[in-house]
Amino acid sequence: MATSAPHIVEECRGVLLVYSNGAVVRSENPSFPVPVHDDGSVEWKDVQFDPINNLSLRLYKPRHVTSKLPIFFYFHGGGFCIGSRTWPNCQNYCFRLASELPAIVIAPDYRLAPEHRLPAAIDDSIACLLWLQKQAAGFNSDPWLLDYADFKRVVVSGDSAGGTIAHHLAVRFGSASGRADLEPVQIKGYVQLMPFFGGVERTRSEAECPKDAFLNLELNDRYWRLSLPIGTNFDHPFANPFGQDSPPLEPVEFPPTLVVVGECDLLTDRSVDYAKRLKQLGKPVEVAEFKGQQHGFFTINPWSESSAELMRMLRRFIEDVSARSG
């Protein structure tokens, strides 16, 4: 009996192919082959934080440091399916973060779907924060962190899927026991950059998203199909913080949180609604909208004027949250 050859059933930006027989093929090349702009003003190195899963992070610091600097986490995007700390668009963005905030920047990798469906990425990100706790407690501490980082001034940020990770980290560590797990590390705030939330019911910005958008509805849905647990829908708690089965957020003690959205991003309505509902719960959440900007504008072109304004905004945010007691 003849059988058909395996064929592609899912494709993500040319770097992830899923075949009808279940095989997954990943390209070693990034989906954003842009030049790396390394002017030497920022040093960087890779550090393994999870030997069991062979996960590493990329650590950045300004070359000339005269005082302890805040720690700024950057969890990359890619719909939980693609992306890496090594991709040049991420590296360019982290160069600018380290230089202009200035800060010690930590850019971790995490396991990707569909080989590792959620909650793998969330679990890995929790493990990375717990790794930082061990660093602060003096367990085989990296000299860059020991000499130049202020463990009491930590801001956790993420882009797209990384923004969703930031939400789940805020929930995990948003209690007295959660904060105790991180001592002496103190998370002062969170920045969700165009967070990748989902839901069964379409928002207006999703329904009206042009097909030629950088992140369109077809790709958005494909990411969720590949990353959520098999047999679940887009209202799963990993995707929708306000889904029927999602844990209540009233008890979560959110630090100050900045949600950044782009006017032309299909995720905008969902992100604005997320912030609005948290604010109604009394959480310290603010929204900043960038007019005319699409999804991920700050990594697509980290040297644009809009990206420069984002850097200024992030610097003010770090200064503001660092000044708060507790």
Tell me the pLDDT of the chain (326 aa) as tens digits.
556 899 999 999 999 999 999 999 999 899 888 899 999 999 999 999 999 999 999 999 999 998 999 999 999 999 999 999 999 999 999 999 999 999 999 999 999 999 999 999 999 999 999 999 999 999 999 999 999 999 999 999 999 999 999 999 999 999 999 999 999 999 999 999 999 999 999 999 999 999 999 999 999 999 999 999 999 999 999 999 999 999 999 999 999 999 999 999 999 999 999 999 999 999 999 999 999 999 999 998 888 999 999 999 999 999 999 988 66
- The reported pLDDT for the residue numbered 301 is 87
Which residue among the candidates 160, 205, 271, 307 is catalytic per the annotation?
160
Name the pTM for this structure.
0.97
Cα angle at 123 between 233 and 132, to 5 degrees? 150
The rounded distance, in Å, linking the Cα atoms of 152 and 155 is: 10
Distance, CA of 242 to CA of 248 (rounded, Å): 8
What is the identity of the amino acid at 254?
Answer: F
**Amino acid 3: pLDDT:** 66
Question: In sequence order, which ranges of 101-234 are alpha helices (DSSP H)?
Answer: 120-136, 143-148, 161-172, 176-182, 204-207, 217-227
Alpha-carbon distances of 146 from 68, 71, 132, 323, rounded to whole Å: 9, 12, 11, 22
| Helix residue ranges per DSSP H, the chain | 88-100, 120-136, 143-148, 161-172, 176-182, 204-207, 217-227, 268-280, 297-300, 305-322
3-class SS at 8?
A: strand
Is-catalytic flag, 160?
yes
The closest alpha carbon to 217, from 279, 265, 157, belongs to 265
| pLDDT for position 111 | 98
Q: How far is CA 311 from its chain centroid?
A: 16
Q: How far apart are CA 158 and CA 107, in angstroms?
A: 9
